[in-house]
A = this chain, B = another copy of it.
Amino acid sequence: MQIQFLGTGAGMPSKQRNTSALALKLLEERGSFWLFDCGEATQHKMLHTTLKPRKLEKVFITHLHGDHIFGLPGMLGSRGFLGGSGRLDLYGPKGLREWVEVTLRISRTHLNYELAIHEVDEGTIFEDDSFIVRALPLDHVVPCFGYRIEQKPLPGKLLIDHAKASGVPKGPLLRELKEGRDITLEDGTVVRSRDVTGPPQPGFTVTILGDTRFTANAVKLAQDADVVIHEATFDQESAQLAGPYGHSTIVDAAKTARLAGAGTLIANHISARFLPEDAEHLAAEAAQVFSPVEIAEDLAEYEWKNGVLRRLYPSK
């Protein structure tokens, strides 16, 4: 799993930071990636990455402010032009369906794939064999969700000696066992997967929060998460603006990560008032409350592997 930031700014695009979007890359896990928010020019940012719009499987929208959605119609159109033919699932607050449908109709954008729009409520909004996604409302000036993405435990390692001892021949049966299925040998013996594999490997949990004031639901969504991506529009000096505009300071973000016992905090949705050289100052404010903390930047990429989060770009 990798996380790539496509837009880490607040409200309006600047030369440094685009409006909100990030990709959860699940290419090894499911051959696809998911997007969280899709501000204007997300597809343009993507031109500078290895992400292929045709591999976009799901889009989760936190809220309907323009800086989080105005890149969506273009993305939907381009996905089709660029060969995306599988179903796309779109999740977000009430109002998303009307806007997308009116926009596609008036712009005569004919999608050559199925678009399923889910207006979500709190609770489990997606689940399959390997992933579960939960949503809870946050505390912004408009309805806004946070999302918790949990990868289910992965099958344990195949204990090849145990399998051999149980009489399993080399070949496809081993794969069945490795993937968690019991098998029957030619002589009628049943070999159970759990007898020839190690303990399940934990999957990852990543929490991606929309715009919000400090709120208990953010802590709930972030509980024990490996990675929490939290907005941090303001610092302590500008903290008095956070409440009225429905945003957080970077210290609010750090408090949430601390209360949740999270692994790593990535601070996102950074106001244009902060220049690139202010990243250290922001990180220092957070570090008084929680560490490790990272300040997101456009095109930054992180990889989670075997329980460890590592920054791939920009290199340290």
Contact = CB atoms under 8 A, between A and B. Distances in A.
B108 A64 contact: yes
Contact of A40 (B47, B71, B102): B71
Interface residues of A, number: 37
**Copy count, this protein chain:** 2
B15 A107 contact: no
Given A41-B41, A41-B44, A43-B13, A99 B103 contact: yes
A85 interface: no
A186 interface: no
Given A12-B81, A99-B102, A108 B44 contact: no
B99 A66 contact: no
A74 B81 contact: no
B107 A69 contact: yes
What's the dominant secondary structure at chain A's contact region?
A: loop
Interface in A1-53: 11-15, 18-19, 40-41, 43-44, 47-48
A12 B107 contact: no
Contact of A107 (B41, B65, B78, B107): B65
A304 interface: no
B142 A70 contact: no
A128 interface: no
Interface in A91-132: 95-96, 98-99, 102-103, 106-109
A109 B66 contact: yes
A73 interface: yes
A203 interface: no
A180 interface: no
10 contacts: A12-B82, A13-B43, A13-B44, A64-B106, A64-B107, A65-B107, A96-B106, A99-B102, A99-B106, A102-B103
